[in-house]
Chains A and B, each alone.
Chain A
Amino acid sequence: MQKQSTGYLFILPALMVLGMLIAYPVAYTGLLSVTDNAGNFVGLENFRRVLAARATPIAFWNTLWWVLGSIIFQVLFGVMAAILLNQNFRGRAIVRSVTLVPWVVPGIVAATTWAWMLHTEFGIINYMLTAPGLIDKPIGWLTNGNTVMPVMIAINIWKMFPFVAIMVLAGLQSIPNDLYEAARIDGASFWEEVWYVMLPQVRSVIVAITLLLVIWALNHITIIYAITRGGPANKTLITPIQIFRTAFDGMQFGQAAALSVMFFGVAIVIVFIYIRTLASNPEEAR
């Protein structure tokens, strides 16, 4: 008993710092969500108003597409790149470093550069497509309702897949050579090696990274906000951007907090389900 309370004393400073930086903002957001700008208690009025807003359901579906689209391809391309970078070839060190570039570039720089490259009139992408006659007239990548969200997702994939690649590569390199040798003695082809040796060995890494990617995609703002600000006509509005706009453009801190609270709830549920089904099963994760 004595020992235990001494232990608490030791972690108290750390707990206090954590409390100030995490518990206080979370609690304060909860308080904001039931008060108006003057600080009066308004019950669930903020929730009612924010749910009635036309943009809210649009943002919800956009967020779903954004997260699913981003995650699937980030993991797919990341793992493919990792397997490739794990092979022996000349200049491997250089290729490995170059692969990291998108991840190292600051988000806002990457986003602004992409916005210019994709511009209908000045963009190099349209120039490269129209100059050799691949297309007749420039495509409005960011102004066409059907292309703008896929383009945003593509940029996000480009930005994040190197991170997946490097993490998975680290996992691949920890696989003992014996396993490959055993597989080869059994006559396994390259694809069978990938399927039966590499993937099962890095499964736990992929599971952990996917969780991180889900969380990052859910609270993402930079790329979309810098390029389209959620437009045109809310076609790329995702919930975090709606929260940001409501709070800092519209000065409606209560409604923004209400939306945050609901979003936090949804995010928690998703993460919980994910951990329960995939990550916490030690038998599976090995």
Chain B
Amino acid sequence: MKTMTIKLAMAATASFLAMSASAWAGQVVWWTPNFNEARARQLVETFQAANPGVTVKLETTTTDGLPQRILTALQSGAAPDVIDVQHAWVNGYAQNKLVVPLDEAVTEREDYIPAALQYNTWNGKLWGAPYRIETHAIIINRGDFKAVGLDPDKPPQTWEAFADAAKKLTVNGKSGFAITGGGEVGNTIFRSLPFMWMLGGGIISDDGKKVLVDSPESEKAVTFYTDFFKNHLSPSSTLENDGTANRRLFIAEKVSMYQSGQFDIQSIRKENPKIDIGVIPVPHPEGAKTAVILGGWSLVVPSSAKNPDEAKKLVAFLSKSENQAILTDTFPARISAMNAERFNDPILKVFKDMLPFGRPVPAHPNWVQISQAYFDGIQRILLGDESVKDAMDGAASEIEGLL
């Protein structure tokens, strides 16, 4: 263990030296994920042309292991000036004073989707500048629908109808609806927590004071979710599948429906053009509204940034409506930016329609461990080790100790 700590510390030090030692006055180092690179570079050029004294050094990151990498950078005190992070991480940084407020950089707040701002707010201040938002919907294989006599243009709306459709679609070695039960915890949180919300349940309450995971509503939702696997409507590999694995199964035409975001559409089209892709809303219980988790990305400026003023200037520039429309991979956080041409593709319509139902995940300092406890419970159910009630009671007692 000791050697590991040492190795980690050394590797971390080395990479920081390599990454940020070269910053000088007037230079802003910006960490952005690799999928943003081309668009970010284009924006950097525009920014530099308008601000002759400032140069932006773009450094790309990869999403795998990104939270750990950013956290080590923030805590080491040798961080870049601007970092792209997921909304849900911002609160933790703010509470630990690792980032600075961005109230002056983010203006025209009425133009933002409220949940995106809510994610980045703590203690009455705004700690991150949201620029990208997205939600899940259900991606379907329209050909499979037709083959079993279902109408893809009149998709199932309620839980009951949806489970029925999944059952009908489970023929010839295909699985009707793939849920996730493996990979990073977040995969399963994104896909199952909204079902709890629809019934008024949840993992913890929004104020983070009460455990809800063992409430009858939450257990009903967990039963709905895990039954897809128990009733063999989700692939037998469910326990090792994350969102990416489900996409691969969909591309291989082994799965007829799965939950995901619009970023999957392009790769499905590219890898298996034969599939007639459809998108339908996430089903809701009879008489209740649907719900989804609002995800996405924000920009933060670390407390240890070397050039915080220039960094804020860059953040303000990127927060302009027209620039958000360029930078985002999915949808922009600003309502006016949504008018851009690229968001008018008809396949995006359902994803856009789901945005108003998007809610932030609860902001709790121990959220990662709380969601891990819940996820372990889900896996115990899928393994057949415990009933839904026992698993959620177990998760509840673990979460109780974390609040």
Contacts and interface: CB of A to CB of B under 8 A. Distances in A.
On whether the two chains bind one another, the answer is: yes
Contacts of A62: none
A244 B368 CA distance: 13
B236 A138 contact: yes
A53 B237 contact: no
The majority secondary structure among interface residues of chain A is: loop
B92 A251 contact: yes
Nearest to A137: B236
Contacts of B109: none
B1 A232 contact: no
Contact of A26 (B2, B365, B366, B382): B2
B239 A29 contact: no
12 contacts: A22-B2, A54-B376, A54-B398, A121-B254, A122-B252, A145-B383, A228-B240, A231-B376, A232-B239, A232-B379, A233-B376, A240-B4
A239 B394 CA distance: 21
Contact of A120 (B6, B235, B401): B235
Nearest to A216: B3
Contacts of B181: 143, 232
A243 interface: yes
Contacts of A229: 183-184
Nearest to A120: B237
A243 B385 contact: no
A184 B252 CA distance: 62
Contacts of A21: 6, 10
A49 B248 CA distance: 40
Interface string A227-250: 011011111000010011110111
A130 interface: no
B379 A233 contact: yes
Contacts of B67: 248-249
Counting contact residues on chain A (CB < 8 A from B), the size range is 35 or more
Nearest to A227: B240
Interface of B: 1-6, 9-10, 67-68, 71-72, 92, 96, 181-184, 235-240, 248-249, 252, 254, 365-366, 368-369, 372-373, 376, 379-380, 382-383, 385, 394, 398, 401
B237 A260 contact: no
A34 interface: no
Contacts of B10: 21
B9 A25 contact: yes
Contacts, number: 115
Q: Which of A52, A115, A140 has the most CB of B within 10 A?
A: A140
Given A49-B401, A221-B4, A233-B376, A251 B240 contact: no
A264 B368 contact: no
Contacts of B376: 54-55, 231, 233-234
Nearest to B6: A25
B2 A264 contact: yes
A172 B375 CA distance: 50
Contacts of A267: 1
Nearest to B72: A248
B401 A249 contact: no
A138 to B, nearest CB: 7
A37 interface: yes
Contacts of A54: 373, 376, 394, 398
B185 to A, nearest CB: 8
A142 B239 contact: yes
A122 B251 CA distance: 12
Given A121-B249, A263-B1, A140 B96 contact: no
A252 interface: yes
A254 to B, nearest CB: 13
Contact of A53 (B72, B183, B398): B398
Contact of A29 (B5, B96, B254, B368): B5
A142 B5 contact: no
B372 A250 contact: yes
A203 interface: no
A232 B383 contact: yes
